[in-house]
Structure 1
Amino acid sequence: MAEAHQAVAFQFTITPEGIDLQLSYQALNQIYLSGVRSWKKRFSRLRNSVIKGVYPASPSSWLFVVIAILATMYMRSDPSMGLIKMIQQHLPLSTQGQTMLSALVFSTLLWLSLILALRFCLKLLLSYHQWMFEQHGRVSNTTKVWVTLLRLLSSRKPLLYSYQTSLPHLPVPPIKDTVSRYLKSARPLLTDPEFKRMTELADRFESNLGNRLQRYLKLKALWATNYVSDWWEEYIYLRGRGPIMVNSNYYGMDFLYVTPTPIQAARAGNTITALLLYRRKVNREELKPVRLRTVIPLCAAQCERMFNTTRTPGVETDVLQHWQDSEFVAVYHKGRFFRLWVYTAGRLLSPREIEHQIQRILDDLSPPQPGEEKLGALTAGERVPWFHTREQHFSSGINKRSLDSIERAAFFVTLDDEEQGMSGEDPAGNLDRYAKSLLHGKCYDRWFDKSFSIVIYKNGKSGLNAEHSWADAPTVAHLWEYTLATDAFQLGYTEDGHCKGDVDRSLPSPQRLAWDIPSEACSSLAVAQALADDVDCHVFPFREFGKGRIKKLRVSPDAFIQIGLQLAYFRDRGGFCLTYEASMTRLFREGRTETVRSCSNESCAFVRALESGEDQCRRLFKLASERHQNLYRLAMTGDGIDRHLFCLYVVSKYLGVESPFLKEVLSEPWRLSTSQTPVQQMELFDLKNHPDFISLGGGFGPVADDGYGVSYIIVGEDMINFHVSSKHSCGETVIPGVSPSFSLRGFVPQCLGVPPPFPTLVLIRYFLHF
């Protein structure tokens, strides 16, 4: 009860002598320091609002404008062309006071006008995307002038959100262009009669209903910041009623070859500290905006909900709840939930103090309360049962208070009692188990509704599981890169593997969360377990060559890999399929993703020629790679296919009209879903001096029951890491008679080597071990 007494600021007792007032100075001091920290954050937010509100100018430029106006007035000149005198007439002050105040008012108005003009110019410059379509090494004079002007306007050091109001809005493509691109993408997947039928459906849609839907969509684009993102978040993610575990959430892995410390509590201490340091940078907007080619900014809106965010279930749709700040994290260990305070006396605990607190949790031998151990399975199962259970058992009392502690936490931490990683007698199989553990764990030892959950394993290995609705993988990858680099290279460990820093032994112990859970409350585990058992994962570090060798061929590494995947699928299934590759649209405000349809006429022509042994493979490969690059550029610059068609479909549903064309397009399965996770902060990793500190990247579950999920990360010049997933229940992705751990064997045939005249184009070797 010591913690409970310390939490009371004052107590009083009525005695015959009067009122005996007892103050807890420790509690009052905590209240005071917490208030000071809160006001500091408010002041920081206010200051940042002013700085980014006037960007690309600076607040001090106001003083320069005022001095310039006063100097010209002192020289008997009127720079306002009579406006200052007009302002004077409406000021009830003395003549001298009127002159000074009217000059200040005019200077401020002029300054604000100049800011709006500069911001408008910056927005026009950021709307120019022709640079992306120019050949490497052949930059036009227009692009050179554009880069120069952009550098001039961006010369001031920007805050994280400085560019937000200057980013252009996502344009609505002409419906004719979208339909034409769709038909071209569908051609290699359809027979002649099927393609003729689809062309007729497209023509009818374009000439009739399509134009009507397009008008509504353009009206939304004029009104909304982004005509896609809000509908995409709601209808693709939040309205899904199935489990988000495996189907939506994705994972990120630790270093491949290195574990900075084998001590679980120490790894947790540094990891939690690094994450909170990143949150501090986000709150203070000290993070540098991500910029392409060091000058073109990307939208940073997804960072706003990175921490203190939870997805809560509903009947028809879920809701994302975000809180401004939280001074604690939620921790799970061996069936128990804890609330761990990470601030004391207004300061962030040191890594060694957090390690000390984590060790207290690990040493706690108290058993789980009834129903507590598998409570997390509620977030892994169907959404509607989770909503009803929440309403019935977690809407009041201690259950609500404990649930609030989890949902309001900065993030969720699982202290896993297993060991994971590549080391051991079966490194390939260990990596597969490592991936499955991060993707779904035991189905109840993660909190899948949190924006992200950190997993620290018994042997010091780490990883994360992220909820998808609030942000896309590059945003989480940026956070994870910073965390890994800060953990290993900045915070570091002592020689015996513990965190650095001092420990305040008087810190109160982490608080056990209390529950009163009926036995029937957790009914989602069976659904989640069946889903987890069905998914198969394989992780494959490809070391024979990387982007360095690919670039010598003057080919895009991403196009190279995507064509290799088309070849792999063709050799596996004897045909082609609709292929999804995620591309970003963060060149626009509140942009998220767009689809690159990687299966094109050109890639199919190359694969067929290669398989039949034709001599024109080199030319066809060049055409296929150029086509893929062009598709990627169109997607990034707002001329993609699928988001436009998706929004047209949403409008048709609101209007209550049916479109056979849209219905058929949006029902097509993505049997090959792919995504590249780029390394965004190579400056954090010194691969030359520390080549073993290579990140494995992350992966996700298959989108279609009879398909594959493929994620890959290009690390350095000589390595590509692949993550492949499929389902055991699909007979076409599982070879009969082969054990489950070999079920992905059919996806990547023995060697995706390219026979002469392509001896250097060995695309991807067999993913699986024998």
Structure 2
Amino acid sequence: MSLLRNVSKISPRFSMAARSTLQQRAMSAVAAAAKHQPKTPIDPTAAGPMLRYQKNLPKLPVPALSATLQKYLKSVRPLLNDEDFKRTEEAVKDFEAPGGLGQKLQERLLARAQDPSVVNWMEDWWLDQAYMGYRDPVVIYVSYFFLYKDDKLRKLPAQRAAAIATAALAFKKEVVNKTLSVEMAKGEPMCMDSYKYMFNNCRMPKKPSDYEAIFDPVNNNHIVVLRKNKFYVVDTIHDGQQLSTAELQHQFEQIINDAGSLKGLAIGALTSDNRDNWTEYRERLVAASPENAKALEKIESSDFIICLDDSTPVTRDEGSRACWHGDGRNRFFDKPLQFIVFENGKAGFMGEHSCMDGTATCRLNEYVCDGLNRNKIEHGSTQIRSSLPQPQALNFQVNDTVLKDIQTAESNFDTLVNKHDLTVLAYQSYGKNLIKKFKCSPDGFVQMVLQLAYYKMFGTSRPTYESAQTRKFQRGRTETARSVTTESVAFVKTMEDPHASTESKLAALRTALKAQGAYMADAVNGHGVDRHLFGLKNTLQNGEEKPKLFQDPAYAYSSHWYISSSQLSSEHFDGYGWGQVVNDGFGCAYMIKNNALQFNVASVKDLEVHGTKYVNGTHHFKQYIEEAANDMRDLLSTELQAEAKL
């Protein structure tokens, strides 16, 4: 999550040398905290437990050039024919030559990494090129969502929204006081720096690159509620005391009543457009009235947004699409946290991805859902104070120019959304528990499911991105784990060979899983191919000719993510996803639950891959995923049964 999108548009991916640790996942980290004594020393000057390891986390390494280039060659080998691979080998050889440009770029990157003033050599480049300088709309291309399971105790929208808000405010308190426990993975603490971007901040549109506005979380104690496209401010503290869940519900009920049945002007739709367009829209909106700037700042500085939608999604597909983008009006897409509650009491979350990856917001949403489910959230008094002020409506003053901008943004949004498709496979046959009985890595197993499904549909293997988190390093974010390997290609071909024996299929799967695990271990240790090459490319100076390595077609092709995948899991979520990163590919977010697997598949409706059109391609890929999951279950069940007879 995360989420991943623009990441794939600017760099290739793969990993480097081998160490033995498997993929780190956000929510398993919390449980691990009590079991392991981390090797990273504690900072005695830290202001709270949340940051106690922060200053002593290792810096993101710069891998050895020769190791990265050999990994790169290994990663592209299964994607290229002999002639193309020979050309790529020559480009790599030229790049690595003693005294050549590759060596100079490596020296520059090492110097940047060793600069005491640079915390993370990749951070600024990545933020700008993968996110802030990216000009396509954040909705579809950047944002991601979680769809919650139903709350059996809270069926009314105001009731459920109030409970969610109370839980989220409890999480905010832990972040602000820095008492939130440190996330751990394999006994190692994770970087907690990104939590400063969670509450009271907003992505701000600007040419040529956006920026992040951070507001004081202590002095800003209000949430913004959207209903019928209208904005309302609810102060969460009154007379020095936080509003109880009952009082928040009362405020939300008043908002629903005040908003009435007629929809307001869709100011929020402006945030759904191309970032340059939104920059201009915002300037004209502010110029229309001084009050508009004040209203915008109220939204931007809020803790988070609650969207009280008037729609009633029923199916997973409907709920997922509603959380992914909704109608484009009852949203403010620049906010990193938007909790969405529907008319029928269903709920979910939408996140803006620029400064925070999905592991942090997954933890927030898990805290909210698990806390409410297990009655761990303190809701306060059921009595509503008579002195409670009314929610404040934000009234924007518009002119004909702003009205035209809104109409344009709405039209652009509708056109964009109508080009995309999304469907959910809720696979109930088995999950993590059975996969572990198969003695397989659950994540690696699902990656092979995706590889087999793609081969079933297209008869070939193509570049696949899997997100690997690098939060064990200071301000680390993600690295690419390339899922297509020589071993994975051999596996899918063996699986689809009707004459191959069960033993050969099992052997091919085990070999492919081992390769995937090694790549993932390298990636989370900061030894991936993609970010290293990205860094080297960024050290090129004006006037220097681009090396053959970066001009080689294999460089672009190997990072053209026909499958862009990532895992975040929660037993409390009924959906999780985002869009594809290339228009001839799929966005495939998945959850590995104890006894189920869930896949969110997104792509353009008119999918065309290498000149061939695939009508209903999104739904067809979903079907092939189910078939692949069945085939792998049947294969490994045979092995399990044979072992039981011994």
Name the TM-score, length of structure 2 as normaliser: 0.86
SS in structure 1 at match of 2:492:
helix
Query: Quick one: which amino acid aligns to residue 347 of structure 2?
Result: S
Structure 1: how far apart are the matches of 2:420 and 2:38?
A: 51
List per-residue Cα deviations over 1:243-293 (Å, max 9, x = no partner): 1101011001102x5443111111111111111110000011111101124
Corresponding residue for residue 634 of structure 1: 522
Deviation >4 Å, runs of 4+: 151-158, 365-369, 491-494, 653-656, 732-747, 749-752
Distance 1:490 1:756, change over 3 A: closer
List per-residue Cα deviations over 1:321-349 (Å, max 9, x = no partner): 11122211111101211111111112210
SS in structure 2 at match of 1:314:
coil
Query: Quick one: which amino acid aligns to residue 409 of structure 2?
Result: S
Query: Alignment partner for residue 230 of structure 2, among 296, 317, 336?
Result: 336
Query: Alignment partner for residue 307 of structure 2, among 408, 411, 414?
Result: 414
Structure 2: how far apart are the matches of 1:598 and 1:739?
A: 25
Asked if 1 retains the 8 angstrom alpha-carbon contact of 2:40 and 2:53, the reply is no
The residue correspondences of 1:137-286 to structure 2 (distance < 5 A) are 150=39, 159-207=49-97, 208-223=100-115, 224-255=118-149, 258-286=151-179
Corresponding residue for residue 701 of structure 1: 579
Corresponding residue for residue 207 of structure 2: 315
Which structure 2 segments of 5+ residues have no match?
Answer: 1-17, 24-35, 640-646
Deviation of 1:525 (Å): 1.8
Structure 1 window deviating more from structure 2 (188-197 vs 513-522): it is: 513-522
Structure 1: how far apart are the matches of 2:328 and 2:214?
A: 24
Query: Quick one: which amino acid aligns to residue 476 of structure 1?
Result: T
Which structure 1 segments of 5+ residues have no match?
Answer: 1-128, 135-146, 422-429, 680-692, 763-770
Say whether 1:361 aligns with 2:250: no
Deviation of 1:655 (Å): 6.4
Distance 1:156 1:327, change over 3 A: closer
Corresponding residue for residue 465 of structure 1: 350
Asked if 2 retains the 8 angstrom alpha-carbon contact of 1:333 and 1:416, the reply is yes
Distance 1:156 1:610, change over 3 A: farther
Distance 1:470 1:277, change over 3 A: same
Deviation of 1:154 (Å): 9.8
RMSD: 2.9
Say whether 1:621 aligns with 2:621: no
Corresponding residue for residue 298 of structure 2: 405
The residue correspondences of 1:114-133 to structure 2 (distance < 5 A) are 132=21
List per-residue Cα deviations over 1:734-756 (Å, max 9, x = no partner): 99896798465565364544389
Corresponding residue for residue 4 of structure 2: none
Corresponding residue for residue 647 of structure 1: 535
Structure 2: how far apart are the matches of 1:755 and 1:311?
A: 43
Name the TM-score, length of structure 1 as normaliser: 0.73
Deviation of 1:500 (Å): 6.2
Say whether 1:505 aligns with 2:386: yes
Asked if 2 retains the 8 angstrom alpha-carbon contact of 1:537 and 1:725, the reply is yes
The residue correspondences of 1:649-728 to structure 2 (distance < 5 A) are 649-652=537-540, 656-663=544-551, 664=553, 665-666=555-556, 668-679=559-570, 694-716=572-594, 718-728=595-605
Distance 1:557 1:584, change over 3 A: same
Say whether 1:447 aligns with 2:337: no
Distance 1:639 1:493, change over 3 A: closer
Deviation of 1:300 (Å): 0.6
Structure 2: how far apart are the matches of 1:420 and 1:220?
A: 50
Distance 1:758 1:350, change over 3 A: same
Asked if 2 retains the 8 angstrom alpha-carbon contact of 1:454 and 1:464, the reply is yes
Distance 1:507 1:473, change over 3 A: same
List per-residue Cα deviations over 1:652-709 (Å, max 9, x = no partner): 2666541232244246410100001145xxxxxxxxxxxxx63225111011101111
Asked if 1 retains the 8 angstrom alpha-carbon contact of 2:43 and 2:55, the reply is no
SS in structure 2 at match of 1:758:
helix
Structure 2: how far apart are the matches of 1:741 and 1:187?
A: 28
Distance 1:231 1:543, change over 3 A: same
Structure 2: how far apart are the matches of 1:357 and 1:132?
A: 48
Query: Quick one: which amino acid aligns to residue 382 of structure 2?
Result: G
Say whether 1:324 aligns with 2:216: yes
Query: Alignment partner for residue 380 of structure 1, among 272, 279, 291?
Result: 272
Structure 2: how far apart are the matches of 1:349 and 1:330?
A: 14
List per-residue Cα deviations over 1:95-143 (Å, max 9, x = no partner): xxxxxxxxxxxxxxxxxxxxxxxxxxxxxxxxxx956389xxxxxxxxx
Query: Alignment partner for residue 466 of structure 2, among 581, 606, 619?
Result: 581
Structure 1 window deviating more from structure 2 (585-594 vs 520-529): it is: 520-529
SS in structure 2 at match of 1:420:
coil
Asked if 2 retains the 8 angstrom alpha-carbon contact of 1:412 and 1:453, the reply is yes
Structure 2: how far apart are the matches of 1:290 and 1:756?
A: 33
Structure 1: how far apart are the matches of 2:303 and 2:343?
A: 23
Structure 2: how far apart are the matches of 1:269 and 1:211?
A: 58
Query: Quick one: which amino acid aligns to residue 244 of structure 1?
Result: V
Distance 1:500 1:252, change over 3 A: farther
Structure 2: how far apart are the matches of 1:273 and 1:735?
A: 50
Structure 1 window deviating more from structure 2 (229-238 vs 744-753): it is: 744-753
Query: Quick one: which amino acid aligns to residue 587 of structure 2?
Result: G
Deviation of 1:528 (Å): 1.6
SS in structure 2 at match of 1:712:
strand
Query: Quick one: which amino acid aligns to residue 661 of structure 1?
Result: L
The residue correspondences of 1:414-433 to structure 2 (distance < 5 A) are 414-421=307-314, 430-433=315-318
SS in structure 2 at match of 1:520:
helix
Relative CO higher for 1 or 2, CA cutoff 8 Å, sep ≥ 6? 2
Deviation of 1:309 (Å): 0.9
Number of positions where the alignment pairs a residue of Structure 1 with one of Structure 2: 593
Distance 1:651 1:166, change over 3 A: same
Structure 2: how far apart are the matches of 1:385 and 1:149?
A: 47
List per-residue Cα deviations over 1:611-664 (Å, max 9, x = no partner): 123231221111110111000000011111101111111222666541232244
Deviation of 1:564 (Å): 1.1
SS in structure 1 at match of 2:141:
coil
Corresponding residue for residue 348 of structure 1: 242
Asked if 2 retains the 8 angstrom alpha-carbon contact of 1:491 and 1:500, the reply is no
Deviation of 1:225 (Å): 0.9
Structure 1: how far apart are the matches of 2:416 and 2:22?
A: 43
Corresponding residue for residue 530 of structure 1: 415
Structure 2: how far apart are the matches of 1:582 and 1:166?
A: 25
Structure 1 window deviating more from structure 2 (655-664 vs 507-516): it is: 655-664
Deviation of 1:393 (Å): 2.3
Say whether 1:515 aligns with 2:384: no
Distance 1:655 1:583, change over 3 A: farther
Corresponding residue for residue 66 of structure 1: none
Corresponding residue for residue 372 of structure 2: 487
Structure 1: how far apart are the matches of 2:157 and 2:343?
A: 5
Asked if 2 retains the 8 angstrom alpha-carbon contact of 1:374 and 1:444, the reply is yes
